Structure 1
Amino acid sequence: MNTVLKIVLLLGLTSNTVMAKNILDKLTVAPGFELSLFASDVENARQVVVSKKGIVYVGSRKAGNVYALIDHNSDGVADKKMLVAEGLNMPSGLAMKDGDLYVGEVHRIIRFKNIDTQLKNPQFEVLYDALPSERHHGWKFLRFAPTGELIIPVGVPCNICAEDERFGRIFALNVETKQITTLAQGVRNSVGFDFHPSTQALWFSDNGRDMMGDDIPPDELNRVTKEGEHFGFPYVHAGAIIDPEFGKGKKIADYTSPALALPAHVAPLGIHFYNGKQFPASYKQQLFVAEHGSWNRSKKSGYKVALASIEQGRVTKYTPFITGFMQDETTYGRPVAFAELGDGSLLVSDDYANVIYRVSYKKN
């Protein structure tokens, strides 16, 4: 399939750019940090990855696009946006390895080889096409494991149901042999995970079921301790609640409890262990969490970036880091995912405001 290449300069105060800059006035970041716009007019920005050359690639869900953002003068602001691909099937998830860009559509994984050198005429190959085609909870988040496998989640095609082994799991794909194995099961809808830089344990977010009320069940942060571990869905939620429809005869103790039970419906998406050198030492290997925010709660919840402090595999503290995406029940933005630039600053995507924020630390 040929892709169409379009180049759009991000300089200039278009109406969308002005709107994007206005959101910065709404947001508050932790003391000592600065929040700026790395890029605006990035429609439905979802997962973000950075190549070794510093080119920022961004997936989308509803827009169906993959973008490349280039900061030629390294001033922390992208000055060129390139449309790498369009018309894809919810290409939300991205991963980079050995210069190749991997894109997760609902039903398949595609690969752009040596993407940084192919931006004038990007072409992709289909790497793996045996994923389910159901679009409900079908959009992806991708990341390579330290051992080299591509990690792929497949959510359940429902609010609550007991599906076959193709769904409700986090898989590991060997990109050479195409062999796929289950890392975690009983996972309703994970759209974010990361490996701890030291222990290499897989942590992931999971979005709990709807229609049990405003305050239950909790959303989850989970840690995988063994291959094939079962995290309860659809029988047990957050290691504490038996499902009224599917939990009959099930025991809470038979399933893994979350590392942290979050408030219901805050919708944790991307998570990221900070491993850069710009932020204070206390942030090293600590977990950033993007709470995308509720969609059907009577009073909105979530809509923030938080920091989970991790010590010896346990969450010891959970504190707001960026707030203001929702104020007085009005939504201004919805954070999605993270990536680090080479200077240690942190990028945060927002699929509601259509922007990429840059978080930097103000050194004294």
Structure 2
Amino acid sequence: MTLSLSIQLVAALLTLASVTAFGNTKLPLDKLKMPPGFEISVWATVPNARSIAQAPGGRFFVGNRGEDNVYLVQNGKAQVFAEKLSVPNGVAFKDGKLYVAQVSEILEFNVPEKVTTPQKPVRTLTQKFPTDASHGWKFIRFGPDGKLYVPVGAPCNICDLGTEYGRIYRIDVNGSSKEVVAEGVRNTVGFDWDPVSKDLWFTDNGRDWMGDDSPPDEINHLTKVGEHFGFPYCHGKNILDKEFGKGKDCKNYKAPEAELRAHVAALGMRFYNGKMFPSEYQGGIIYAEHGSWNRSAPQGYMVGFAFIKDGKITTVKPLVEGWLQVGDAWGRPVDVEVMEDGSVLISDDKAGVIYRLSYKAPKGK
């Protein structure tokens, strides 16, 4: 190897190391638009970053759908926590253990104080789920009741769901219980609980091939166990499906709290319970729109905020937008997580990073 080639190789390796350690500095963050006072930066580089789970001590676990690793991120630096898994999209942390959702099963990992090598699962939970790849990747999260909530999406664009699909379950990780919480849910990849009422709220993706602007994506509110949210019979608040809606009435199903734009692929959502953002954001919902894939003109690719008063959504507005530029998206938000300081992490599986959204009151405010 010649000296000049060696120098070029070293330079290339140093460049790669700097990108890995400090984030992709080439991302056009200046294209992102936010209300006055909000700022966004790259917090960590994580390949195919999807669902985020927070653990004590400033540790965050990040799942993915495009490769087989789960990452541990601390102080903005990522390392492989577990490897050679199968579509490990969903991650949830509780009592010193990490739970990772694959398509048909959930793995349990011990989380040592210091992680030096990739960890192996200590067991597979007894509860099993369908093996269908379509809408099979899962978001999981522990509820206020200590149960783990697990969705099973529709194995299709639109079809008769039968008895296993289109549901949100809750399970006891230390036993064999598996209870249906909600039905008629096409594909939820994000949910959270109202910190006051403890009610479950979740995003849901509408079906495809009903036109560019129909049906809407949804933000839903579960008020009692077993409620049916309409799929595949009814979409949004009052749109009967042209095939499966015959003989049905949308009034017989739970309507969404908010109709979002069609095909925006609303995924991760959290109630904002931090103190950093202005007071009007307290108790509202921050959510990620992954973006459309089959609309003639793309839309979505943003982070929105749903303002809530007296348990009802009053308005929904963009909070961060600009990943979509002239019909081409350079980033796709997936999940959000509120940090202890009140800032918000946003995962992006296309750019392969996690952003940190913060707020500082403009001068004169």
Say yes or no: TM over 0.5: yes
1:273-310 CA distance string (max 9 Å, x none): 01112222222211001011100000011111011001
Aligned-partner Cα distance in 1 for 2:156–2:277: 40
Structure 1 unaligned regions, length at least 5: 1-8, 72-77
Write the distance in 1 (CA, Å) between the matches of 2:306 and 2:164. Answer: 31
Rounded Cα–Cα distance in structure 1 between residues aligned with 2:51 and 2:301: 17
**In the alignment, is residue 37 of structure 1 matched against residue 42 of structure 2?**
yes
Rounded Cα–Cα distance in structure 2 between residues aligned with 1:18 and 1:260: 35
Aligned mate of 2:324, from 317, 323, 326:
326
Q: Could you tell me whether the CA contact under 8 Å between 1:21 and 1:37 is conserved in 2?
A: no
Alpha-carbon offset, residue 21 of structure 1: 4.0
- The aligned residue for residue 226 of structure 1 is 224
Deviations 1:111-167 (A, max 9, x none): 112344455352212124511111100001111110110011110110000122211
Which of 78, 90, 101 is the aligned partner of 1:81? 78
Partner of 2:305: 307
Give, in angstroms, the shift of residue 84 of structure 1.
1.2
Name the count of aligned residue pairs: 349
Distance 1:287 1:39 in 2: 23
1:260 counterpart = 2:250: no
| Percent of paired sites with the same residue | 47
| 1:100 equivalenced with 2:97 (yes/no) | yes
Instruction: Indicate conservation of the 8 Å contact 1:99/1:116, yes or no.
Output: no
Quote how far apart the aligned CAs of 1:352 are.
Answer: 0.8
CA distance in 2, matches of 1:93, 1:115: 20
Q: Which residue of 2 aligns with 1:69?
A: 73
User: Residue 251 of structure 1 corresponds to which residue in structure 2?
Assistant: 249
Task: Tell me the amino acid that sits aligned with residue 202 of structure 2.
Answer: F
Q: CA deviation at 1:12?
A: 4.6
Superposition pairs for residues 120-159 of structure 1, below 5 Å? 120-124=117-121, 125-159=123-157
Indicate the structure (1 or 2) with the bigger Cα radius of gyration. 2
CA distance in 2, matches of 1:83, 1:136: 26
Q: Deviations over 1:243-292 (max 9, x none)?
A: 11111111111111100011110110001101112222222211001011
Letter in 2 for 1:204: F
Find out whether 1:336 has 2:340 as its counterpart. Answer: no
2:200 maps to 1:202: yes
TM-score by length of 2: 0.91
Match of 2:54 among 43, 50, 53: 50
Q: Could you report, residue by residue, the CA deviation over 1:153-197 in whole angstroms, capped at 9, with x for unpaired residues?
A: 110110000122211001111112220111110000000100001
**What 5-or-longer segments of structure 2 have no aligned partner?**
1-13
User: How far apart, CA to CA, are the structure 2 residues paired with 1:168 and 1:276?
Assistant: 32
1:38-86 deviations in whole A, cap 9, x for unaligned? 112x111001122101112100001121001121xxxxxx1x3211122
Q: Is the Cα contact below 8 Å between 1:232 and 1:239 reproduced in 2? A: no
Q: Is the 8 A contact 1:52 1:99 kept in 2?
A: no
CA RMSD of aligned residues (A): 2.0
Contact 2:23 2:43 in 1 (8 A): no
The letter for the 2-side match of 1:50 is: Q
Counterparts in 2 of 1:157 and 1:103: CA distance versus 1, 3 Å: same
The 8 Å contact of residues 23 and 42 in structure 2, kept in 1 or not, is answered as no
